[in-house]
Structure 1
Amino acid sequence: MNRIWITGFSQFELGIFNAKDPRVTIIKYTITKFLTHALTDTDEPYWLLTGGQSGIEQWAVEAALDLQEQYPQLKIAMMKPYEHYGSKWKPERQTALHALESRVDFVAATSNQDYQNPGQLQSYQNFMLTHTDEAMLFYDDMADQSNVRYTYKAIQAFQNRQDDYHLLMIDFDRLQDYAEEYAEDLAN
């Protein structure tokens, strides 16, 4: 069994406020390419673990859901850092989160309490790291004001203790490469 944590920027950190933004297409294309490559030659269960944050995490769920019919060994777990995650979001964002929750294979929170303190987020990161074999992180050092930097630092610290944990970093340059590949695929 393989398990991957896909996470990264929120839609707000990327400045994406519309699901039809072409950048969403490229991000989903990137995730789809990676998952398709990982799933092509195996019938072994492959779990995608991610949170419910709007942005990379929800787009990862959407991309994976599109692949499940072709790859039934792909399973999706939406792990939230605390109970009632997203309950203070705007109604349309809450609706989108609940719609995705209803379609994935497993939903749970790593803390059985509502948000209390940042320690819950650190516990969430630790849970995700200890329950996955690798991570795909959409992050760029150029955006160091992003909260994703804490996840990046947590992964690095975990790799120092667990040297076989693999990190696939998707930065802005790599996303540009995928955008060019996507354009070539459309042209062919």
Structure 2
Amino acid sequence: MKVVYCTGYKGFELGIFQKDHDAVRYIKKAFEKELRLLLDEGLEWVLSSGQIGVELWALEAAISLRQEFPTLKVGVIEPFQGQSQKWNEANQNWYNEVIGNLDYVNSLYHQPYKGPYMFRRHQEFIIHKSDGALILYDPEREGTPKYFYEAAINFQLQHPYDVRTISFYDLQLVVEQENEEF
């Protein structure tokens, strides 16, 4: 897989309202672990839409991996321009800090939000432009990643597309492993 799209729950869906909540360290570790495996398989790009929560944490994990893997490229393709404009100041600052460290930042629609069709078209675009997805998603706990997950699985039925998930069980294993190391 050369290009992976990282996505997952919004922070509030996980009960996380601070970018530096204790659980965030484990989420980043889980993404880092999976991204390392993909890097061993030839990963070149990590993409996301830059939504608050798992997407920004996954981007931060990818950015930190560039110290060890300097050829890794990291980018954001927003569904529409100005997606962060209505976020609170802290989240806007966080977003700007992350995108300031990216190799590529763009939006599918070069205009402000006009309707939900922008998210659907963005989803289709990403699935067609990436080789696979890494999704923090557990089917037993539905949330916003369900829509991307289902679209990716449906696409996978007729095209080569690698869908990898990080479940809550996987996160628990990361927590246990981290605690064993201390």
* Fold match by TM threshold 0.5: yes
**Alignment length, in residue pairs?**
182
| Distance of 1:52 and 1:41 partners within structure 2 | 24
- Matched residues in 2 for 1:134 and 1:56: separation? 17
Q: Is the 8 A contact 2:26 2:175 kept in 1?
A: yes
Equivalent position of 1:100 in the other structure:
98
Q: Detail structure 1 runs of 4+ shifted over 6 Å in the superposition.
A: none
Q: How does 1:60-139 map to 2 (within 5 A)?
A: 60-139=58-137
- CA RMSD after TM alignment: 1.5
Residue 161 of structure 1 deviates from its aligned partner by: 2.2
- Could you tell me which of 136, 145, 152 is aligned with 1:155? 152
The answer as to whether partners of 2:30 and 2:170 remain within 8 angstroms in 1 is no
Amino acid at match of 2:117: G
Determine whether 1:172 maps to 2:168: yes
In the alignment, what sits opposite 2:28? Answer: 28
Note the C-alpha offset of 1:182: 2.3
Closer/same/farther in 2, CA of residues 19 and 130 from structure 1, 3 Å limit = same
Alpha-carbon distance, 1:47 to partner:
0.1
Gaps of 5+ in 2: none
- TM-score for both structures, normalised by structure 1: 0.91
Native 8 Å contact 2:132 2:163 kept in 1: yes
CA distance in 2, matches of 1:70, 1:148: 29
Q: What's the secondary structure of 2:11's corresponding residue? A: coil
What is the rounded CA distance, in whole Å, between the counterparts of 2:3 and 2:167 in structure 1?
A: 21
**C-alpha distance in structure 2 between counterparts of 1:107 and 1:64, whole Å:** 15
Q: Which amino acid aligns with 2:111?
A: Q
Segments of 5+ residues of structure 1 without an aligned counterpart are none
Q: Deviations over 1:32-77 (max 9, x none)?
A: 11122332475xx610011111111100111111111210111001
Identity of aligned residues (%): 31
CA distance in 2, matches of 1:20, 1:98: 16
Match of 1:169, SS?
strand
Partner of 1:110, secondary structure, is strand
Instruction: Please name the residue that 1:19 is paired with.
Output: 19
Distance in structure 2 (CA, Å) of the matches to 1:100 and 1:174:
25
C-alpha distance in 2 between matches for 1:108 and 1:28: 23
TM value normalised by structure 2: 0.93
